């Protein structure tokens, strides 16, 4: 659900780069980045995570980090 919404939102945003990190093969990276839930979106010091991330929550997060 989150991946589909994120992919749709990012098609409109050329100024955002997405890095996907596979936590199974990079567990230390997820610990270092403070990832406790899947999915998690992180930009700088801002983080959005939860079991269910709606399109509205993802869009609000992207707007927030763009405006910083």
- CA–CA distances in Å: residue 47 to residues 51, 60: 14, 12
Which pLDDT score, from 0 to 100, does residue 60 have? 94
What pLDDT was estimated at residue 57? 94
Per-run averaged pLDDT (10 residues), the chain, 68 residues:
85 79 90 88 90 92 88
40: which strand partners?
Answer: 49
Locate tokens 């596979």: which residue?
22
Angle between helices 2-10 and 55-66 (to 10 degrees): 40
């Amino acid at each position: 659900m989150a991946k589909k919404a994120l992919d749709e939102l990012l098609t409109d945003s050329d100024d955002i780069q997405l890095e996907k990190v596979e936590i199974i093969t990079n567990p230390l990276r997820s610990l270092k980045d403070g990832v406790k839930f899947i999915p998690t979106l992180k930009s700088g010091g801002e983080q959005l995570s939860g079991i269910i991330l709606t399109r509205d929550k993802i869009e609000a997060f992207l707007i927030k980090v763009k405006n910083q």
